[in-house]
């Protein structure tokens, strides 16, 4: 039972928040007339000394159940019996809910900053890829040409959305449970609104019974981390593929690749692979956490002690992978010549159909006509561009010699000039928009 009961290994890191919450609680008890002014300052000074002690790390040999018991024991050790007055009207139930929200608000800021670092690196890459036209893939088949900037930005937007999600989580964490007691509230006239303000919460909880077991913000946090992990994993997958010999679109810096212990030639994209791997863990934490909550009866239940393991792990994991990916992206180089050599003229098949549409041919017929051209090129073992004028005309009489102008990568991306498209002006506007979003 003792081994099962312990949570100090996991919750030790809450100590600064426990101290902060306890200092504020002592002050609130003083304001409510439960503690004299000298008692408040003795307790607060004692807490400061406990903080100095804990700053050194977890004291060796301590057997306390959790961080709350440890801080209280050390406080009483420092200031004597008066320390035992601190827990008046408070329960570890509202205490832990408060501590972990304080931790969560800070963690949300750190995660946001880490995501911003990666978005910044992607925007740099986008700035370099404006003149590089690469295949845009659907079904992992070459679809239509896009600017490399457009590809880099396609990874920045999901991460900007992740940052917004994390900001919402921070906001939701800002509801103060302290003053809810174990289940029914506090019998002493503590000023909860003052406490909220003192501790940086935006508001106070409305129902003590709900407040001690509400972990909704945490579920959102874990979901936001899982989704960010998925976005990082997809970016990682692109980097793994694109840095392979078969693609060769990007070269990853040595610092973000590793060799093989056996094959001397290897440059493995480990940063990207490890990031992709960590996504499974982030998804698992979110799924496991929801399972933990399911079916809990009203009020605080000890099961909730298990909330911190996935929460801390997901935040630690994201804070590990996001900066590594930021470094990998910041030091990656596009390889324009290689990218160009892999552009297949079939990427322009849609542009050929669009050519006919501009001449009034219904799109369905245009699509079929170009399908015939694709087949002809395949039969003749040549590229679309090499088909004769006659072949074009026999596919559809509206094809005229000016169709040759379609075989121009730049013209193809420039044709898509609506917002969100691949034309230079549209991509430059998109990059400005992303920079603004990042700075906001």
Catalytic residues, by residue number, are 139, 260
Tokens 């079904």, located at residue: 139
Question: Which residues lie below 8 Å from residue 420, measured CB to CB, with a gap of 6+?
Answer: 426, 430
Q: How far is the CB of 309 from ligand ARG (least distance, A)?
A: 10
In the complex with ligand ARG, which residue's Cβ is closer, 184 or 193?
A: 184
In the complex with ligand ARG, which residue's Cβ is closer, 71 or 125?
A: 71
In the complex with ligand ARG, which residue's Cβ is closer, 238 or 307?
A: 307
In the complex with ligand ARG, which residue's Cβ is closer, 96 or 322?
A: 96
Which residues of this protein are in contact with ligand ARG, per CB under 6 A? 7, 11, 66, 92-93, 96, 302, 304-305
Q: How far is the CB of 218 from ligand ARG (least distance, A)?
A: 12
Tokens standing for residue 65: 């159940």
Q: How far is the CB of 18 from ligand ARG (least distance, A)?
A: 10
With beta carbons less than 8 A apart as the criterion, state whether 62 and 77 touch: no
- In angstroms, the CA 170 to CA 105 distance is 5
- In angstroms, the CA 75 to CA 50 distance is 6
Q: How far is the CB of 4 from ligand ARG (least distance, A)?
A: 12
Q: How far is the CB of 303 from ligand ARG (least distance, A)?
A: 9
In the complex with ligand ARG, which residue's Cβ is closer, 314 or 396?
A: 314
In the complex with ligand ARG, which residue's Cβ is closer, 11 or 39?
A: 11
Three-class DSSP labels, the chain: CHHHHCCHHHHHHHHHHHHHHHHHHHHHHHHCCCCCHHHHHHHHHHHHHHHHHHHCCCCCCCCCCCHHHHHHHHHHHHHHHHHHHCCCCCCHHHHHHHHHHHHHHHHHHHHHHHHHHHHHHHHHHHHHCCCCEEEEEECCEEEEEEEHHHHHHHHHHHHHHHHHHHHHHHHHHCEECCCCCCCCCCCCCCCHHHHHHHHCCCEECCCHHHHCCCCHHHHHHHHHHHHHHHHHHHHHHHHHHHCCCCCCCEECCHHHCECCCCCCCCCECHHHHHHHHHHHHHHHHHHHHHHHHCCCCCCCCHHHHHHHHHHHHHHHHHHHHHHHHHHHHHHCEECHHHHHHCCCHHHHHHHHHHHHHHCCCCHHHHHHHHHHHHHHHHHHCCCHHHCCHHHHHHHCCCCCHHHHHHCCHHHHHHHCCCCCCCCHHHHHHHHHHHHHHHHC
Tokens 């997901």, located at residue: 314
Q: How far is the CB of 91 from ligand ARG (least distance, A)?
A: 7
In the complex with ligand ARG, which residue's Cβ is closer, 58 or 367?
A: 58
Tokens standing for residue 57: 């790390």
In the complex with ligand ARG, which residue's Cβ is closer, 208 or 305?
A: 305
Q: How far is the CB of 83 from ligand ARG (least distance, A)?
A: 19
- In angstroms, the CA 178 to CA 21 distance is 8
Q: How far is the CB of 220 from ligand ARG (least distance, A)?
A: 19
- In angstroms, the CA 428 to CA 112 distance is 25
């Amino acid at each position: 039972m003792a081994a099962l009961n312990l949570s100090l290994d996991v919750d030790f890191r809450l100590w600064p928040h426990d101290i902060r919450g306890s200092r504020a609680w002592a002050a609130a008890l003083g304001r409510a007339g439960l503690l004299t002014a000298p008692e408040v300052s003795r307790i607060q000074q004692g807490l400061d000394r406990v903080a100095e002690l804990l700053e050194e790390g977890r004291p060796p040999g301590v057997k306390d159940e959790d961080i709350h018991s440890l801080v209280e024991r050390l406080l009483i050790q420092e200031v004597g019996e008066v320390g035992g007055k601190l827990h008046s009207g408070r329960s570890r139930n509202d205490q832990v809910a408060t501590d972990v929200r304080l931790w969560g608000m800070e963690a949300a800021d750190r995660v946001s900053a880490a995501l911003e670092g990666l978005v910044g690196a992607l925007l740099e890459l986008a700035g370099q890829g404006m003149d590089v036209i690469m295949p845009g893939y659907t079904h992992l088949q070459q679809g239509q040409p896009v600017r490399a900037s457009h590809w880099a930005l396609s990874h920045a937007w999901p991460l900007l959305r992740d940052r917004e999600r994390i900001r919402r989580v921070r906001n939701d964490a800002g509801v103060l449970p302290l003053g809810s007691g174990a289940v029914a509230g506090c019998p002493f006239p503590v000023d909860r609104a003052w406490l909220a303000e003192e501790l940086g919460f935006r508001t106070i909880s409305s129902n003590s019974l709900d407040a001690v077991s509400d972990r909704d913000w945490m579920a959102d946090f874990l979901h936001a981390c899982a989704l960010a992990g998925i976005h990082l994993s997809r970016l990682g997958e692109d980097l793994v593929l694109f840095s392979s010999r078969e693609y060769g679109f990007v070269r990853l810096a040595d610092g973000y690749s590793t060799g093989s212990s056996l094959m001397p030639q290897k440059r493995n994209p480990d940063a990207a692979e490890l990031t992709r791997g960590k996504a499974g863990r982030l998804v698992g934490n979110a799924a496991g956490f929801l399972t933990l909550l399911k079916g809990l009866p009203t009020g605080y239940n000890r099961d909730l002690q298990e909330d911190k393991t996935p929460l801390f792990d997901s935040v630690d994991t994201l804070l590990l992978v996001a900066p590594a990916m930021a470094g990998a992206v910041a030091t990656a180089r596009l390889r324009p010549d290689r990218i160009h050599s892999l552009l297949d003229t079939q990427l322009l098949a849609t542009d050929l159909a669009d050519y006919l549409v501009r001449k009034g041919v219904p799109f369905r017929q245009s699509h079929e006509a170009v399908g015939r051209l694709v087949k002809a090129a395949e039969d003749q073992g040549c590229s679309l561009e090499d088909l004769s004028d006659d072949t074009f005309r026999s596919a559809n009489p509206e094809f005229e010699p000016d169709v040759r102008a379609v075989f121009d990568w730049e013209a193809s991306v420039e044709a898509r000039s609506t917002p969100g498209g691949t034309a230079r002006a549209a991509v430059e506007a998109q990059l400005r928009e992303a920079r603004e979003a990042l700075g906001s």
